[in-house]
Structure formats: C-alpha cells, structure tokens
Amino acid sequence: MKIVTKAYGPLDIDERQVIQFPYGLIGFEQFKVFALLDASQQPFYWLQSLDVPDIAFVLINPLLFRPDYTPDVAEEDLEDLQLDQPDDLLVFSIVTIPENQNRMTANLQGPVLINRKKKIGRQSISLNPNWRVKHVILEELAALKD
C-alpha cells in the first residue's frame, strides 16, 4: 500500500501496519486510520494518519523511561480493543519534541493502546493521577540511574 507521510514523503507500507482507531485520537477524533511506522531514530515510532499526510505523532514505549508505568485505564477502553491475550496489548506515549530536544516530553496521562493482532487502537485517559501529560523523558531516564 502506498501512502504519503509527514516524515518520509511517499512510502510503501504493509497492510499489517495499518491500525484502525474507531474514536480517533483525543483532539483528532475525525482521523480514524493510521499506520504505525518505525522511526529512523530508535526508540521512537511514527503514528501516521492515512487520512491526512500532515497528521503524524511521535510515539515511544513508556516502559523505556518509566519501568513502573501502568496505564490504569477504564475497563471499557480495554474492551474496545477486543484483546484475546494481555500480550496483544501495545502501550505507547505521544512524544512532544520542542526546539530544545533535551526537554522532550511524553504524555503518560493519555496512553495510546493498540491491539497488535486485531489492529485496533484507542487513546485512553489514565485513571492514575500520578501520570501527567508532560513527563520530561531525559529527566526520567536520569532518575533511573540514581
């Protein structure tokens, strides 16, 4: 399948990379079809809208910098994903990269949840008040080393 991406321009992708978000993402509810792409710089991913090429999000696995992270989401959000096995669940955080990249943040309050087998996604709101929308990734990594 040929798509146009924000980061890489035209690109051929495998149909297995396409994720349906029946409710869209928070603030972007009208966009329902995305592709999950490996970014050129690990450990990041791109969540690229297939509806509008200019809509794309950088994602990261939050366990890389917060090993204690659990999304703590509403049961109905998990039911929407139609999970057969807990291992089918992928959890990501949306990353915001400012001009000073040392201050990049991850949104742990609004995890992006994906059923990797059924290719269904949903952005949820964490019920845990300790998770904020802006966790500075490098500060979190530094705290792990202490």
Q: Rounded to the nearest 5°, which phi and psi values hold at 125?
A: -115, 125
Q: Which residues pair with 36 in a beta bridge?
A: 47
- CA distances from residue 67 to 45, 64, 71, 141 in whole angstroms, order as listed: 19, 6, 12, 10
The pair of structure tokens assigned to 131 is 């998770």
Give the domain range for residue 120. Answer: 2-145
Confidence of residue 12 (pLDDT cuts 50, 70, 90): very high
Residues 62-109 pLDDT 10s: 999 999 999 999 999 999 999 999 999 999 999 999 999 999 999 999
Residue whose pair of structure tokens reads 């399948």 in the numeric block: 1
Could you give the CA distance from residue 39 to residue 44 in angstroms, rounded to a whole number? 5
- Here the CATH number for the domain that contains residue 129 is 2.30.290.10
- Number of domains composing the chain: 1
Could you give the CA distance from residue 50 to residue 47 in angstroms, rounded to a whole number? 9
Full-model pTM: 0.93
